[in-house]
A = this chain, B = another copy of it.
């Protein structure tokens, strides 16, 4: 019953075409396309403003104050993967720094999502290695206790299965289950299609009240205008 101390080697990654397509859309759009679910909590923030990630998840379950499993995870990485690291408890220690980033990058990883702390932020920024984390903290970690790699994890309030697509930008982090990646990519595309038009319409002064035909609904709900 215990799913600790496990490394799953063969995981089923989302289809590359779907991942590529998803990489064209923002987190807000994708999350809407999924029915407004799949977001991590908003305390997950990029270590630099331009950070952006779209990749397939290699998951890690960490123990507090211990980054042993990050090294184990490195070996499982394939080009296009993003490491998604959860912890068995709330802990903001600096589980990740420039050396691990160098190693992840060498394996082709495109970024890190971690419900914990990171350090060496200046180096990571210079390396242009995107990280979304709960905290920045210099606190070092040890290598003593087993967690797992590539088991389902809960990271910052979102369920993540290995192989899922994870997209992160300044608006947050969203998880797209592998088996619906293509559908969500298509829905995102559809959703975005008329955004440019809408922006032009609103820029011209048309109100959402009229464009979305909200006046009747508001009146029915009882909205009263007074002077």
User: Taking the complex as formed, is A66 at the interface, i.e. its CB lies under 8 A from any CB of chain B?
Assistant: yes
Which B-chain residue is minimally distant from A102 (CB atoms)? B202
Interface size on A, residues (CB 8 A): 100
User: Taking the complex as formed, is A16 at the interface, i.e. its CB lies under 8 A from any CB of chain B?
Assistant: no
Q: How far is the CA of A207 from the CA of B94 in the complex (A)?
A: 20
B28 touches A120 (CB 8 A): yes
Among A6, A88, A146, A205, which residue has the most Cβ atoms of chain B within 10 A?
A88
Q: How far is the CA of A198 from the CA of B103 in the complex (A)?
A: 10
Q: How far is the CA of A103 from the CA of B167 in the complex (A)?
A: 28
User: Taking the complex as formed, is A193 at the interface, i.e. its CB lies under 8 A from any CB of chain B?
Assistant: no
B172 touches A136 (CB 8 A): yes
A106 touches B202 (CB 8 A): yes
Contacts of A170 in B (CB 8 A): 121-122, 136
Name the distance in Å between A60's Cβ and chain B's nearest Cβ: 13
B214 touches A9 (CB 8 A): no
Partner of A88 from the list B36, B198, B208 (CB cut-off 8 Å) is B36
User: Taking the complex as formed, is A110 at the interface, i.e. its CB lies under 8 A from any CB of chain B?
Assistant: no
User: Taking the complex as formed, is A79 at the interface, i.e. its CB lies under 8 A from any CB of chain B?
Assistant: no
User: Taking the complex as formed, is A4 at the interface, i.e. its CB lies under 8 A from any CB of chain B?
Assistant: yes
Name the distance in Å between A121's Cβ and chain B's nearest Cβ: 5
